[in-house]
Structure 1
Amino acid sequence: MANKGNKKRRQFSLEEKMKVVEAVDSGTEKMRPLIVGRSANPQCLKNVHSLPCDYRANQWAWMTQDLFNEWLMQMDARMKQAERRILLLIDNCSAHNMLPRLERIQVGYLPSNCTAVLQPLNLGIIHTMKRLYRSRLLKQILLKLSSSEDQRKVNIKQAIDMIAAAWWSVKQSTVVRCWQKAGIVPMELTDSDKETAASEPDTAIEKLWHSVAIASCVPNEVNFQDFVTADDDLTISQELIDTEVIQNTVAGENTDEAGSEDEGEVSLPQQPKITITEAISSVQKLRWFLSTCVDVPDAIFGQLNGIDEYLMRRVTQTLVDSKITDFLQTK
């Protein structure tokens, strides 16, 4: 994880190179996350054409004005296609100062220095997502420890997958509760919401942390609270502080910083290309494994069926297209 003190600087290093942009409505819809990294073309994303989020890069891994406006225009286009109009509440920071012309989005600024009490994302949504991400990260580390792998070798692709999974795992009841705490929109929680809206205790993740700390010899001065709050004070957006820094950021906005990124990015073996037949076979193996387990929720089998159906559609369409091509070539 990213960290604030030099003494702890290299304990967890990947997250200081990535920032996450999130947007959520009053309880029914979460927007696709935008992740900002330092490398435009990291090696681990070679031959990767689909991600569970949007990925952009600049040399500081900051949310800049250009990146925010690009994201805003894309959202405006989606709203236009869906014939919707929305009010978007945002923080008053330098990256949000010069907005493009929008057709379907009205932007409202939250009062300065009040985001801690008015911004629903800051009232528990971001904390919940970070906790879910860190839980996945610790489980990944424990899994690697059990197989004698270097537990700190988590590349950008793996981090992106875990971040996206954590974001989509944030419950609707959590979102509703945070909007209610902000008091911006009058809302009532149902009884079922009240039962699930309470934030889950950090006990489980703390147990994971202690297991990892003992197994990987984390220094005694690095405690669980350091792990939880490691990135609270990181700069996440372009600030109007130093003209030269801003100019360098803008100049490097669309450049490939893979060279400098590789200095800190872990080097993992390149994954071989998987054929669709191999992917289908893997799903069948996973289905068989789950059938040997006890009390597997029906939802898990449903998700597996969705993956299987998608792969079968892909392979069927490929076969149909090839047959048509062969037929036309014989004419």
Structure 2
Amino acid sequence: MTSTIFEDYLRKWDVELSKEKRQILLLVQNCPAHPHVELNNIKLAFFSPQSMLVLQQMDQGIIWSLKQTYRKELLLKILEMQATDRNVSISILDAIIILHSSWSKVSSETIRNYFHCAGLIKNADLEVSNDNSPPEDNLLSQLLKMETFLHENIQFKDYVNVDKNVITTEHPITNEVLVDEVKRECSEEVLSDSEDDETDMEIVSTNEALRYVGKLQNFFRYQTDNEDFLDNLNKMQRFLLCQFITKTLFKQEL
């Protein structure tokens, strides 16, 4: 995050709120990348350093829940690439799509729990859960058994926190570094749009089906904004990945 990105985002949001005739209070963490901005429909309230000792728990909890889901979906994306014999390369666009999907899976209960812990929701009837992790996923459990993903000495929680100490604010990050990073991502991204040779196949393999689903996802992602199509394709992909994992684990046991 940089102050330029932060201010640009707020000003665009302020215009949208003005059109909707809405005014909001935005709670902001004190950070060099979060400058004070004068806006018409957004009032910024900066937390004091002392209050962050309490509020950091909320911040960590919501981010932890999001990161768990994101890391799981990232593993599934890598698996899908391997299953379809593609070079494993996660582009910036791939990461954004996975992040968007992961955020939609963070429950409102998780967010409410941490707002309640921070004293921002006062409701005696609200039951606060101490566990805000995503529900256990059978597909993830099977995935972690596969030797190709996590080393036997690495726990999933360590994998989730692999970037815990990465600096994400503007002081150590220059425009030159950001440009170089984007160039690197673009150069490493494998663009493969070539169609497979048509063959008469009565039975389609799981790998081939995954490849077809991936192409359909790309088509509907760029040709329509209908979320229902993509949701159904995601369900198909998940079902096929379950089959792929089961077959792979069976071969490993043999």
Output the TM-score relative to the length of structure 1. 0.52
The aligned counterpart of 1:269 is 192
The aligned counterpart of 2:106 is 170
Matches of 2:12 and 2:58 in 1, distance apart? 21
RMSD: 3.8
The aligned counterpart of 2:141 is 207
The aligned counterpart of 2:22 is 84
| Contact 1:129–1:170 under 8 Å retained in 2 | yes
Q: Secondary structure at the match of 1:135?
A: helix
Matches of 2:38 and 2:133 in 1, distance apart? 41
Matches of 2:42 and 2:86 in 1, distance apart? 47
Counterpart of 2:11, as a letter, is M
The aligned counterpart of 1:47 is none
Matches of 1:154 and 1:269 in 2, distance apart? 13
Query: In 2 relative to 1, CA 82–120 (structure 1 residues): closer, same or farther, beyond 3 Å?
Result: farther
Following superposition, the deviation at residue 103 of structure 1 comes to 0.8
Say whether 1:223 aligns with 2:155. Answer: yes
Q: Please, which of 84, 90, 94 is the counterpart of residue 32 of structure 2?
A: 94
Deviation sequence 1:228-272 (CA, Å, 0-9, x none): 211222111113xxxxx56xx25777x686434445x33242489
Query: In 2 relative to 1, CA 123–103 (structure 1 residues): closer, same or farther, beyond 3 Å?
Result: same
Query: In 2 relative to 1, CA 123–225 (structure 1 residues): closer, same or farther, beyond 3 Å?
Result: closer
The aligned counterpart of 1:64 is 2
Q: Which runs of 5+ in 1 are unaligned?
A: 1-62, 240-244, 294-331
| Contact 1:76–1:104 under 8 Å retained in 2 | yes
Deviation sequence 1:21-75 (CA, Å, 0-9, x none): xxxxxxxxxxxxxxxxxxxxxxxxxxxxxxxxxxxxxxxxxx1111100011112
Q: Please, which of 80, 89, 92 is the counterpart of residue 143 of structure 1?
A: 80
Say whether 1:75 aligns with 2:13. Answer: yes
Matches of 2:220 and 2:41 in 1, distance apart? 41
Query: In 2 relative to 1, CA 103–142 (structure 1 residues): closer, same or farther, beyond 3 Å?
Result: same
Query: In 2 relative to 1, CA 119–89 (structure 1 residues): closer, same or farther, beyond 3 Å?
Result: farther
Matches of 1:258 and 1:138 in 2, distance apart? 22
| Contact 1:138–1:208 under 8 Å retained in 2 | no
Query: In 2 relative to 1, CA 90–133 (structure 1 residues): closer, same or farther, beyond 3 Å?
Result: same
The aligned counterpart of 1:129 is 66
Identity over aligned residues, as a percent? 24
Q: Please, which of 120, 138, 152 is the counterpart of residue 184 of structure 1?
A: 120
Q: Secondary structure at the match of 2:144?
A: helix
Query: In 2 relative to 1, CA 209–111 (structure 1 residues): closer, same or farther, beyond 3 Å?
Result: farther
Q: Secondary structure at the match of 1:70?
A: helix
Say whether 1:259 aligns with 2:195. Answer: no
Matches of 1:136 and 1:275 in 2, distance apart? 20
Q: Secondary structure at the match of 1:118?
A: helix
Query: In 2 relative to 1, CA 172–201 (structure 1 residues): closer, same or farther, beyond 3 Å?
Result: closer
Following superposition, the deviation at residue 176 of structure 1 comes to 1.1
Counterpart of 1:66, as a letter, is T
Q: Secondary structure at the match of 1:259?
A: helix
Counterpart of 1:207, as a letter, is S
Deviation sequence 1:108-166 (CA, Å, 0-9, x none): 1112264352157514221111111122122223333434444x322222211110011
Q: Secondary structure at the match of 1:101?
A: coil
Matches of 1:114 and 1:207 in 2, distance apart? 38
Q: Which runs of 5+ in 2 are unaligned?
A: 195-214, 240-254
Output the TM-score relative to the length of structure 2. 0.65
Matches of 1:267 and 1:258 in 2, distance apart? 14
Counterpart of 2:115, as a letter, is W
Following superposition, the deviation at residue 199 of structure 1 comes to 2.1
Q: Secondary structure at the match of 1:124?
A: helix
| Contact 2:92–2:185 under 8 Å retained in 1 | no
| Contact 1:133–1:166 under 8 Å retained in 2 | yes
